A and B are shown apart, each in its own frame.
Chain A
Amino acid sequence: MASIARRCLFSSYRSARRISSRSVSQPAKQWQRSLSCTTARRADKAPWDQAENEEGEDLSEQEARWAQLAEDVSKIDPKFQARAAMKYLDDFEMVEEEDYEIAKDDPKAIAQGFWGEGEEEDGGPDEDYYGDDITSLGHGELEQHRELREYARLAAWELPLLSQLAKPFQLPTAATPFRFRYTSYLGEKHPAANKVVVEYSVADMPDMNQKQRDKLIKLAGPRYNPGSGIIKMSCEMFDTQDQNKRFLGETIKKLLDEAKDLKEDFSDVPFDFRHHKLKVRPQFPAEWALTPERKQYLEEKRRKQQQIDYERDNLGTLTDGKKIIEQALPNILPSMPEMVAAPNQRLRR
């Protein structure tokens, strides 16, 4: 019969280990292979002596702990001690020494796993699945859920902070006539992410007279929109936005320099706006709008017409196609021959 203290200590091991030893969490630091597999030798001690000594030390240490414990226990009020022991004995009727033996894990149950318990075994054991976990589909679901939560957290906590970075909109001045457009795909890779587009109005270009502006429009070709008077250029030749923007800037500079140079002013070349289709918006003429006056005028007109028609109808001068045909038909159609019953042939037979 083991002492109460011993029982208390070992009671935690009483239940069978359901969770496989393989699933026991490993320390974060991986075991690292030492450079040599032989134990390190030390000059002062022989290796076998060392092993013995260490064991002896360990034992004495354990004994000391046990002694300490026994002493602590003896210090506890004997009444209380007896009650606790009795209670423990009542709950767990562990009398025999065998009761304290730890049950071995059933290797078959381990192989089958928790989820496969009671299931018929088919095929070999799943290499990746140890029966201690939910399925990969479940993991996927969980992962998605985690991700959603992460973004929900971002939306709730981080996004409001972006407003601190907002700058108040300021109208572009005459000094900044170029409007650049960059495209961000929010961290994703995209073939058009390096594209830069610039738009500028020809009328906003400083220090240019009409001839130079005309030349600029002619040089811009189909990039010029005659409806809005805006030239739109884009570049995605290079890998980065900066390079593309630089190229655009240089091109615009060259274009403006060329337009300002009136040695050749292209006055003999007509504007070519074939690329631009004017959007025709048909509109009803203003005279057709049904104003109250016009409504009244129309009603008056219709009433007069009706009156005239009524009078003509009474006089018999209103042309009625149906009547004319009815009157004309008897004169046109030849009189129908009178039908005479033929003698009954059957009777004659």
Chain B
Amino acid sequence: MSSSICLRRLPQLSSESSIHSSIGSRNLLSSTQTSSFSTSTARFASPLMKKKTGQVAAPKRGAKTLNVKKGRGGSGRDTGRKPAIGERKALRKRIVLSNTNALEVPTLQDLTKDNVLDKAVEGKVMGIPGEVVDALRAVEAFKTSQGWSLFRRPAALMRKETVQIAELVKQVEAGEAKAKQTIRKVLVGDKMSGKSTLVLQGLMIALLRNWVVINLPDAKDIVLGHTEYAPLPGSTPTQYYQETYTATLLSQIAKANSEILSKIQVTSKPALPIPTPPKLNLLKLAELGAANPEASWPVFVALWKELTLPGRPPIMMAIDNLAHVMRNSEYLSADAKPVHAHDLTIVRHFVDHLSGTKTLPNGGIILAAETKSNSPACPALDYSIQLAEARQLGREVLPEWNPYKVVDMRVMECLRNMEVLRSNGLSKEEARAIMEYYAASGMLRAKVDAPFVSERWTLAGQGNIGELERASVRARI
């Protein structure tokens, strides 16, 4: 049995490692894990194991031999194409909104500008019209975790909470021109209870009602530290803006609201760092910002200024995964201190409206949804939600802040007067409506009668919609 290292090299080796120890330690992969001088391999080698003779008779000419070795020429060689860069991520993030194998539901009606605010649609599954689907896709309102790919075309149940949002929209639109309301809501609820879908439905209603829609699809993307950032000149305390992210946001705004924005001309003279054509509509402005990331933030500010002038349409702003912007971001300041998420300009812009320090002169709704599946611990947010719920329910005893928890005062201040919309489980009638839709799409092979609905409703934890979909469509029992 030969030792792992030639014995003649032993003194050389030890001197090398002692001299270049720092180099050796960095290169972890190349260094062998065996000790330089060891007899244990030889000593503990199993005596039962045959010694390698290396004298295997060559196979006869013409005889087929089994070669399962990996590597060049072996039959077990991986001949498949390696995925290109970004391909797997694209596959992971792909939004599929149609299933050609599902049946078309003949009774499915589309939502229109008129019937979306109607009370009559409550408890019905309604189709989302094509242009709205495009706009929603543009603002990334559809999520991979939602079951859009199971059905022929996007449709959603107009549940009680959706109708509540529609009521809010009606309320904003009914306000007088001078005193339009700004409504702020935080959507809370159990895991898979349809919070993100409620945001989507809110955006859908806004799009149908010709509002301007601005959506931050996932707050995590803003604070993750994956896009470049720079301190905003002339801001005290220092704020940071994200060129690329803002440019993407502008392009999304432009795509989703192209029809409305193209009708509005820029009236003020915005001071932009890029040359602008003399006659400019808002769509062009937004596209300009999207095309020039270095000017994206000033363009966004100019666009916002234009949108808040009197006579402009109401605005729906939404954010998902709220907890991520209620803490320090992954960015560092110049003195290597973490940057609070509220110091990022986009987040600051949103949070100012969510907290009520800024209002929308033309009216509008600020929607924020929390997430239960991927959210950092945020005690201030949890407490604020509890407090807001207790306040809304008119409880006499309000929950008390645990003084031994670390408090983020900026978050507490921001969420001081927030309002909460809890998305509960579906009622049995709603569950029946959506299960009939499942069955009509050919995705549920069962007779949808009261006992069956009741069983699945109970299995889904009192009508949690995500669980209901799991229990009736996805599960094959």
Binds A, one of B238-246, B306-314, B432-440: B432-440
Q: How far is the CB of A304 from chain B (nearest CB, A)?
A: 9
Kindly list chain A residues whose C-beta atoms are within 8 Å of the C-beta of B440.
319, 324
Contact A328 B103 (CB under 8 A): yes
CA A308 – CA B444 in complex, angstroms?
21
Contact A272 B439 (CB under 8 A): no
Contact B442 A270 (CB under 8 A): no
B44 at the interface (CB under 8 A from A): no
Do A322 and B449 form a contact, CB below 8 Å, given A270-B403, A270-B404?
A: no
Contact B442 A318 (CB under 8 A): no
The listed residue (A274, A305, A309, A325) touching B442 by CB distance below 8 A is A325
The listed residue (A272, A318, A325) touching B449 by CB distance below 8 A is A318
Give the nearest-CB partner of B453 in chain A. Answer: A305
B445 at the interface (CB under 8 A from A): yes
Contact B446 A322 (CB under 8 A): yes
A144 at the interface (CB under 8 A from B): no
The listed residue (A274, A319, A325) touching B436 by CB distance below 8 A is A319
B448 at the interface (CB under 8 A from A): yes
- Interface residue count on the A side (C-beta < 8 Å): 18
CA A320 – CA B443 in complex, angstroms?
11
Q: Is the interface of A mostly helix, strand, loop or mixed?
A: helix
Kindly list chain B residues whose C-beta atoms are within 8 Å of the C-beta of A276.
none
With most chain B CB atoms within 10 A of its CB, the pick from A306, A313, A318, A321 is A321
Kindly list chain A residues whose C-beta atoms are within 8 Å of the C-beta of B436.
319
Per-position 1/0 for B420-439, Cβ under 8 A of A: 00000000000000011011
Contact A328 B442 (CB under 8 A): yes
Per-position 1/0 for B98-141, Cβ under 8 A of A: 00000100000000000000000000000000000000000000
Contact B404 A324 (CB under 8 A): no
Do A324 and B450 form a contact, CB below 8 Å, given A270-B403, A272-B404?
A: no
Chain A residues numbered 305-349 whose CB sits less than 8 Å from any CB in chain B: 305-306, 308-309, 313, 318-322, 324-325, 328, 332
Contact B450 A321 (CB under 8 A): no
Give the nearest-CB partner of A305 in chain B. Answer: B450
Contact A319 B448 (CB under 8 A): yes
CA A165 – CA B402 in complex, angstroms?
53
Contact B445 A318 (CB under 8 A): no
Give the nearest-CB partner of A269 in chain B. Answer: B403
Kindly list chain A residues whose C-beta atoms are within 8 Å of the C-beta of B404.
270, 272, 274
A302 at the interface (CB under 8 A from B): yes
Kindly list chain B residues whose C-beta atoms are within 8 Å of the C-beta of A320.
439, 446-448
Q: How far is the CB of B379 from chain A (nearest CB, A)?
A: 14
Do A321 and B403 form a contact, CB below 8 Å, given A328-B103, A328-B442?
A: no
Contact A321 B442 (CB under 8 A): yes
CA A52 – CA B449 in complex, angstroms?
132
CA A274 – CA B402 in complex, angstroms?
10
Kindly list chain B residues whose C-beta atoms are within 8 Å of the C-beta of A274.
404
Give the nearest-CB partner of B446 in chain A. Answer: A321
The listed residue (A306, A313, A318, A321) touching B444 by CB distance below 8 A is A321
Contact A322 B447 (CB under 8 A): yes
Per-position 1/0 for A48-79, Cβ under 8 A of B: 00000000000000000000000000000000
> Assuming A270-B404, A319-B440, what are 9 further A-B pairs, CB within 8 angstroms?
A272-B404, A318-B447, A319-B448, A320-B447, A321-B448, A322-B445, A324-B103, A324-B439, A324-B440
Chain B interface residues toward A at CB < 8 A: 103, 403-404, 435-436, 438-440, 442-450
Query: What 4 pairs across the A-B complex have the smallest Cβ distances?
Result: A321-B439, A305-B450, A270-B403, A319-B436
20 A-B residue pairs with CB within 8 Å: A272-B404, A274-B404, A306-B450, A309-B450, A313-B449, A318-B447, A318-B449, A319-B440, A320-B447, A321-B438, A321-B439, A321-B443, A321-B446, A322-B445, A322-B447, A324-B439, A325-B103, A325-B445, A328-B103, A332-B103
